[in-house]
């Protein structure tokens, strides 16, 4: 009897112990993936479907990959929904001004640098201007999508009317016929305000997603039906439902959560960030308009971007552009999630549009053009202030 | 195909039920404990049942378990799993001709496979011919995979996700053994149907040799007309244990069709070393296997698909109590520990020079209770670190499993 009681006691201890020996969930502020709060049951179900399509669907020659491609799945480029790694960097080429791409017959705008067996990948035409583009983080995209055109336009200052050295312009683009215009959209000469991509040239997440299937994986859809190899219209290799699920997933990924925001150094760093003039482009706070996803409607959020194009100087001019952007103009990237970037980039920082900066400081020092004065201000900071600024940026 | 297998299974059971009407006629075929046994003997070295003097012996084993798994704090709750039920039929056609078949039902009837169905003809102990569906002798686990032999609910990751255990193919070959007082040496050499393009075209987003098993036609015809070569040599020295060196390789891609060239011939080659021993005094059993794979992935493909891989496991099983327990005459209580590792992509990124990860490491402490050598109840705890290709923070999984497995 005594032995049985001991055995039972050990069993109970084991069961209690089980809870202790199971891996815990990372804290919410340590992860970039996960849905926004307030989704309905149906919306959550669609989020999960999109999650599977984005992170688990792998394309092979049998189910539509290629024949030319860059990566084999969405998740290959966006590990943990964070920033990408140089091994999946995209190369775009062939456009130097707003007149359009002159190398479409040579495979532009995107170089498909891989091919399934039996095919040869594309190579860059000799002498063409090109940009390497690191895959961006996916988090909080629904909030950025729901900002009204009027709010974006209100932040623009094309002629630097306030004389602060910062202009900021919208990228005006022709919108594909499959995209629906936002409520209260603003147009100018038949062109519309785009907001996604490093040059801010994709109108919405549907265009971004359909292009990624087509240009990154060689997977054709009803939205982008032209094969990148044959240039012929072919049958869809991914269903409209799946594309919409992925778009919904991207729209409803949560915004990164700031960490250590009450830390004195972090708070000091934020003040330095503002004082240096960084916040003029990296706007800390934006507000969404009305969205058909109620959890995204009329929300204030903290992305640290103005979604506008800025002259970043000659060092970042790759002699390539998209839409109405100049070759030296880049869209202000959101800084939220910056501190978690290493967790999706294999433990190292790869920052700026092509990942050329291996630290936050290196990224700051690469700022030129309109941001040169902020760069200069940063260099004149004390070492302690620099550290506090970095701590603040790492908290985002 | 499934209908035929069901019919065969049904007939076997009818046969067994008839046999049970007179259980005195059912005999347990004694396992050969006189000759030193090698991994390659695992196919025949099973506890068969024989009815009277019929030349046919039957057997099989069953494995079931429950498990509770948590990955990074997220669980899908408890599951009960019917991992597999396997039926063996062995037949002695004459003194020197034997036939054995092994039919496996995995996850209920989700997968039904003929794992082994081969005719063995002995011309000389060193020269035996084997033909039919054979288990390719790569590593040790592929041929010696019966659930009741192991203290762990899960098969080794390196055996099933790096190597394609259990991997069988149609083919012919030779094997032989040389017995000496202090050692036994053996060899196996087979040519079979083999690999296919699934190795680099699969839903795992990595070079994944086990995906080659997904080709449903591999028992009907070769995917590319190129035979797969499997070879193994083993040496068991009386006191030291058994060491095996094995190789399996061949062309995996469809390089031509209708006489037209599609691609160059691309090979997948696997080398493995395995070892097992029992430490005499402590009766500690050590089993280990390590494998290296080399796959000719096209240069035009993404670095996601590695051309070099490696992995293996080591199991240590220590009997703690061995005596009559709960009425079981030859019961034993054992502690066991497994360490395993697989790297699906050895190399560095072209762009950064940094290490490519895509690996998994796990430890599995376990306890088991054996009512006899044929039946095991086992409690496992697995803790696993899985790292993506970039080497981002590992995903952590813990699994608690309780399972049973028994020959019948």
Q: Which tens digit of pLDDT belongs to each residue from A44-77?
A: 999 999 999 999 999 999 999 999 999 999 999 9
CA angle A2, A6, A9 (to 5 degrees): 140
A206-230 pLDDT tens trace: 999 999 999 999 999 999 999 999 9
For chain A, the helix, strand and coil percentages under 3-state DSSP, each to the nearest 5: 35, 10, 55
| Rounded Cα distance, B356 and B346, in Å | 6
What pLDDT, on a 0 to 100 scale, did the predictor assign at position A207?
Answer: 97
Q: CA B152, CA B377: separation in Å to the nearest integer?
A: 10
Identify the helix (H) or strand (E) that includes residue B19. helix B2-20
The CA-atom distances, in angstroms, between B126 and each of B5, B33, B175, B237 are 34, 20, 7, 18
Higher pLDDT, B168 or B109: B168
Does the pLDDT of residue B33 top 90, yes or no?
A: no
Alpha helices (H) in chain A, listed in sequence order: 2-20, 41-55, 74-77, 141-145, 149-155, 205-211, 217, 240-251, 264-275, 360-365, 372-379, 383-395
* Among the partner residues B75, B298, B392, nearest to A346 by beta-carbon distance: B392
**A86:B253 CB<8 A:** no
- Edge-first strand order for the sheet with A171-173 is A171-173, A191-194, A187-188
Q: What's the CATH number of domain B2-407, 2.40.160.10, 2.40.50.1020, 3.40.50.300, 2.60.40.10?
A: 2.40.160.10
Distance from CA of B265 to the nearest CA of A (A): 11
Residues A36, A274, A299, CA angle at the centre, nearest 5°?
25
Domain-located, residue A26: no
Using DSSP, state whether B143 is helix, strand or coil.
Answer: coil
Substitution target from A10, A11, A22 for chain B, most B beta carbons within 10 A: A22
CA distance B312 to chain A (A): 24
Tokens of A148: 């009204």
> Residue B387's closest CA among B375, B372, B378, B397?
B397
How close does chain B come to A213, measured CA to CA in Å?
16
pLDDT at B351: 94
- Give the C-alpha separation, B131 to A362, whole Å: 65
At B36, is the pLDDT very low, low, confident or very high (cuts 50, 70, 90)?
A: confident
* Per-residue model confidence (pLDDT) at position B354: 95
User: Looking at the DSSP assignment, which residues form a beta bridge with residue B223?
Assistant: none
Does residue B28 surpass a pLDDT of 80?
no
What is the span of the domain harbouring residue A363? 34-396
Give a yes or no: residue A96 inside a domain: yes
CB A166 within 8 A of CB A139: no
A19 within domain boundaries: no
Instruction: Check CB contact under 8 Å for B398 and A22.
Output: yes
- Asked if A117 and B302 come within 8 Å (Cβ–Cβ), the reply is no
- For B334-347, how does the pLDDT look when each residue is reduced to its tens digit (9 = 90+)? 999 999 999 999 99
Q: Distances in Å between the alpha carbon of B1 and those of A284, B5, B7, B113?
A: 64, 6, 10, 10
Beta bridge partners of B378: B368, B403
The yes-or-no verdict on residue B31 having pLDDT over 90 is: no
Q: How far is B390 from chain A (nearest CA, A)?
A: 5
Residue in chain A lying closest to B256 (CA): A118
Percent of chain A with pLDDT over 90: 93
pLDDT value of position B54: 83
| Residue B362: predicted pLDDT | 97
Note whether A89 contacts B: Cβ–Cβ < 8 A.
Answer: yes
Query: Above 0.95 for ipTM, yes or no?
Result: no
| Candidate from A263-267, B3-7, B122-126, B200-204 with smallest mean pLDDT | B3-7
Question: DSSP of B90-123, one letter per residue?
Answer: EEEEETTEEEEEEEEEETTTTEEEEEEEEEEEEE
pLDDT-derived band at A7, boundaries 50, 70, 90: low
Q: How far apart are CA A392 and CA A394, in angstroms?
A: 5
Collect all residues of chain A within an 8 Å Cβ-Cβ radius of residue B301.
Answer: 114-117
Q: Residue A182 has what pLDDT?
A: 93
For residues A367-382, give the mean pLDDT.
96
Instruction: Considering only CA atoms, give the Rg of chain B.
Output: 22
For residues B228 and B171, the answer to whether their CB atoms sit within 8 Å is yes
Per-residue pLDDT band at A12 (split at 50, 70, 90): low
What is the predicted pLDDT for the residue at A4?
56
Please tell me which residue of chain A has the smallest CA distance to B301: A114
pLDDT digits (tens, 9 = 90+) for B55-93: 889 999 999 999 999 999 999 899 999 999 999 999 989
Residue A321: inside a domain: yes
Up-side HSE of residue B130: CA atoms within 13 Å toward CB? 29
Neighbours of B67 (CB within 10 A): 18
Confidence of residue B34 (pLDDT cuts 50, 70, 90): low
- How remote is the C-alpha of A126 from its chain's centroid? 30
Query: Contact A89/B263, CB-based, under 8 Å?
Result: no
- DSSP secondary structure string for all residues of A52-95: HHHHT----TTTT--SEES-SSHHHHSGGGS---GGG-EEEES-
Residue of B7 and B246 predicted with greater confidence: B246
Neighbours of A80 (CB within 10 A): 22
Residue A27 lies in a domain: no
Confidence band of B132 (pLDDT split at 50, 70, 90): very high
Flag if A346 and B197 touch (Cβ within 8 Å): no
* A272 vs A278: CA distance, rounded Å: 9
Min mean pLDDT across A18-32, A114-128, B366-380 is at A18-32
DSSP state of A173: E
Pinpoint the alpha helices (H) of A146-201.
Answer: 149-155
pLDDT at B174 (0 to 100): 97
In angstroms, the CA B333 to CA B330 distance is: 10
Residue range B185-208, pLDDT digits in tens: 999 999 999 999 999 999 999 999
Residues near B253 by beta carbon (within 8 Å), at least 6 away in sequence:
A117, B196, B197, B200, B224, B263, B265, B266
Within 8 A of A343 by CB-CB distance, chain B residues are: 392-393
Query: Would you state the pLDDT for residue B21?
Result: 53
Other Cβ atoms closer than 10 A to B335:
15
Instruction: Return the DSSP state at A233.
Output: B
Q: Which residues of A touch B358 (CB under 8 A)?
A: none
In the three-class reduction of DSSP (H, G, I as helix; E, B as strand; rest coil), residue B203 is classed as coil
Residue B41 pLDDT level (bands cut at 50, 70, 90) = confident
Q: Is pLDDT above 70 for B12?
A: no
Residues of A in contact with B388 (CB under 8 A): 79
CB contacts of B262 in chain A (<8 Å) are 117-118
CA angle, A218 as apex, A213 and A223 as ends, to 5°? 50
pLDDT category of residue A366 using cuts at 50, 70 and 90: very high
- pLDDT recorded at residue A82: 95
Left (φ > 0), alpha (ψ -120 to 50) or beta: where does B358 sit? left
In which band, very low, low, confident or very high, does the pLDDT at A5 lie, cut at 50, 70 and 90?
Answer: low
Task: Round to whole Å and give the CA distance between B314 and A99.
Answer: 64
Cα–Cα distances in angstroms (integers) from residue B375 to residues A2, A198, B104, B279, B408, in the given order? 28, 62, 18, 23, 9
Task: Indicate if the pLDDT at residue B38 is higher than 90.
Answer: no
Q: Which two tokens stand for residue B324?
A: 């009559």
Token reading at A230: 């044959």
The pair phi, psi for residue B42, each rounded to 5°, is: -60, -30
Cα Rg, chain A, nearest whole Å: 23
CB-based contact B84:B78 (threshold 8 Å): no
- For chain A, what percent of residues have pLDDT higher than 70? 95
pLDDT in tens, A282-338: 999 999 999 999 999 999 999 999 999 999 999 999 999 999 999 999 999 999 999
SS (H, E, C) A356-386: CECCHHHHHHCCCHHHHHHHHHHHCCCHHHH
| SS3 category, B242 | strand
- In whole angstroms, what is the distance from residue B32 CA to residue A343 CA? 55
Check CB contact under 8 Å for A86 and B352.
yes
User: In the beta sheet, which residues pair with residue B135?
Assistant: B168
pLDDT the model gives residue B110: 85
Angle at A366 between CA A365 and CA A370, to 5 degrees: 100
Helix (H) or strand (E) holding B157, with range, is: helix B157-157
B258-283: average pLDDT:
95
Of the partner residues B205, B253, B303, the one whose CB lies closest to the CB of residue A117: B253
DSSP sequence for B118-142: EEEEEEETTEEEEEEEEE---TTTT
Q: Do A76 and B302 touch (CB under 8 A)?
A: yes
pLDDT value of residue B285: 97
Residue B74 to residue A347, Cβ atoms within 8 A: no
CA distance B387 to A153: 43
Helices A383-395 & A264-275 angle (0-180, nearest 10): 100
Tracing tokens 């291996």 back to the chain, one arrives at A358
> What pLDDT sits at residue A284?
97
Q: How crowded is residue B310: how many other Cβ atoms within 10 Å of its Cβ?
A: 18
The answer to whether residues A135 and A88 touch, using CB atoms and an 8 Å cutoff, is: yes
Q: How far is B306 from chain A (nearest CA, A)?
A: 13
């Amino acid at each position: 009897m005594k032995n049985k009681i001991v055995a039972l006691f050990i069993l109970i201890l084991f069961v209690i112990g089980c809870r202790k020996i199971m891996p815990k969930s990372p804290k919410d502020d340590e992860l970039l993936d996960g849905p926004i709060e307030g989704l309905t049951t149906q919306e959550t179900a669609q989020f999960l479907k999109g999650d599977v399509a984005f992170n688990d669907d792998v394309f092979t020659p049998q189910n539509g990959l290629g024949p030319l491609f860059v990566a084999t799945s969405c998740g290959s480029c966006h590990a943990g929904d964070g920033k990408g790694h140089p091994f999946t960097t995209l190369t775009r080429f062939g456009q130097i001004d707003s007149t359009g791409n002159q190398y479409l017959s040579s495979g532009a705008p995107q170089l498909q640098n891989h091919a399934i067996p039996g095919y040869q990948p594309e190579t860059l035409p000799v002498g063409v201007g090109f940009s390497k583009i690191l895959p961006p983080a996916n988090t909080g995209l629904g909030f950025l999508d729901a900002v009204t055109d009027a709010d974006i336009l209100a932040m623009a200052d094309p002629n630097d009317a306030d004389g602060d050295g910062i202009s900021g312009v919208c990228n005006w683009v022709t919108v594909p016929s499959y995209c629906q215009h936002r409520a209260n959209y603003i147009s100018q000469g038949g062109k519309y305000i785009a907001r996604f991509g490093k040059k801010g040239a994709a109108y919405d997440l549907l265009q971004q997603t359909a292009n990624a299937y087509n240009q990154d994986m060689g997977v054709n859809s009803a939205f982008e039906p032209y094969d990148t190899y044959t240039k012929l219209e072919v049958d869809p290799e991914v269903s409209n439902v799946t594309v919409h699920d992925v778009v919904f997933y991207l729209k409803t990924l949560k915004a990164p959560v700031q960490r250590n925001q009450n830390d004195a150094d972090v708070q000091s760093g934020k003040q330095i960030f503002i004082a240096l003039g960084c916040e003029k482009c990296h706007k800390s706070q934006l507000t969404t308009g009305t969205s058909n996803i109620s959890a995204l409607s009329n929300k204030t959020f903290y992305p640290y971007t103005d979604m506008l194009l800025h002259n970043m100087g000659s060092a970042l001019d790759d002699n390539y552009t998209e839409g109405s952007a100049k070759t030296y103009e880049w869209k202000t990237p959101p800084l939220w999630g910056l501190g978690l970037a290493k967790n999706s980039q294999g433990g190292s920082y790869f920052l700026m549009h092509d990942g050329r900066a291996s630290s936050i400081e290196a990224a700051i020092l690469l700022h030129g053009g309109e941001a040169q004065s902020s760069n200069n201000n940063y260099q004149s900071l004390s070492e302690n202030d620099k550290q506090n600024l970095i701590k603040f940026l790492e908290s985002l | 195909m499934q209908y035929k297998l069901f019919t065969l299974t049904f007939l076997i059971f009818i046969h067994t039920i008839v046999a049970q009407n007179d259980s005195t006629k059912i005999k347990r075929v004694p396992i050969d404990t006189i000759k030193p046994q090698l991994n390659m003997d695992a196919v025949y070295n099973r506890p068969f049942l024989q009815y009277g003097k019929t030349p046919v012996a039957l057997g099989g084993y069953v494995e079931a378990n429950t498990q509770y798994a948590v990955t990074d704090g997220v669980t899908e709750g408890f599951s009960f799993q019917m991992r597999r039920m396997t039926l063996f039929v062995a037949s002695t056609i004459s003194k020197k001709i034997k036939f054995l078949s092994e039919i496996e039902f995995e996850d209920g009837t989700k997968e039904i496979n003929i794992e082994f169905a081969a005719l063995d003809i002995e011309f000389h102990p060193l020269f035996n011919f084997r033909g039919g569906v054979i288990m390719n002798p790569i590593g040790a686990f592929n041929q010696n995979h019966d659930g009741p032999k192991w203290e762990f609910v899960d098969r080794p990751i390196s055996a099933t996700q790096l190597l394609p255990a259990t991997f069988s193919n149609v083919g012919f070959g030779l094997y032989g053994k040389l017995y000496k007082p202090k050692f036994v040496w053996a060899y196996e050499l087979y040519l079979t149907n083999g690999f296919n393009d699934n190795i680099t075209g699969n839903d795992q987003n990595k070079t994944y040799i086990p995906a080659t098993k997904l080709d449903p036609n591999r028992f009907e015809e070769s995917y590319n007309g190129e035979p797969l070569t499997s070879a193994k040599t083993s040496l068991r020295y009386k006191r030291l244990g058994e060491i095996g060196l094995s190789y399996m390789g061949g062309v995996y891609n469809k390089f031509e069709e209708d006489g037209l060239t599609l691609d160059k011939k691309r090979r997948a080659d696997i080398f493995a070393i395995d070892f097992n021993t029992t430490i005499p005094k402590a009766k500690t059993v050590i089993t280990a296997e390590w494998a290296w794979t080399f796959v000719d992935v096209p240069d035009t493909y993404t670095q996601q698909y590695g051309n070099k891989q490696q992995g293996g496991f080591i199991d240590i099983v220590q009997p703690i109590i061995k005596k009559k327990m709960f009425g079981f005459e030859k019961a034993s209580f054992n502690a066991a520990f497994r360490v395993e590792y697989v790297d699906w992509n050895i190399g560095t990124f072209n762009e950064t020079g940094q290490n490519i990860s895509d690996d998994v490491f796990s430890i599995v402490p376990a306890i088991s209770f054996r009512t006899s050598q044929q039946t095991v109840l086992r409690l496992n705890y697995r803790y696993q670190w899985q790292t993506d290709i970039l080497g981002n923070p590992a995903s952590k999984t813990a699994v608690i499993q309780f399972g049973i497995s028994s020959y019948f």
